[in-house]
């Protein structure tokens, strides 16, 4: 099950558009949204949107592995 989850996370990340994946990975690594926005060359608002969309896509892909819903 864990291996399946790992595989699905990798696939789901690979399917994300470039900026969504970057923002998602950077944010999950603990970088602030301000820093993430600066690095990705987008506005803070845009970074927030990209992160939201990335989370939504991942949540959809990982739905069957997760017990609760993501905000």
Is 53 an interacting residue with respect to another protein (CB under 8 A)? no
- In the set 1, 4, 5, 46, which binds another protein (CB under 8 A)? 5
Q: Which helix (H) or strand (E) holds 64?
A: none
2 backbone dihedrals φ, ψ, rounded to 5°: -60, -40
Contact 70, 24 (CB under 8 A): no
3-state secondary structure of 67: coil
Instruction: Tell the smallest beta-carbon distance from residue 39 to another protein (Å).
Output: 4
Is 1 an interacting residue with respect to another protein (CB under 8 A)? no
Instruction: Tell the smallest beta-carbon distance from residue 71 to another protein (Å).
Output: 6
């Amino acid at each position: 099950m864990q291996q399946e989850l790992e595989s699905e996370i990798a696939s789901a990340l690979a399917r994300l558009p470039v900026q969504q994946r970057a923002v998602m990975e950077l944010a999950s690594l603990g970088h602030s949204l301000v820093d993430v926005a600066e690095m990705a060359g987008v506005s803070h608002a845009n970074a927030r949107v990209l992160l939201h969309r990335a989370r939504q896509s991942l949540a959809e892909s990982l739905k069957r592995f997760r017990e609760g819903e993501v905000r």
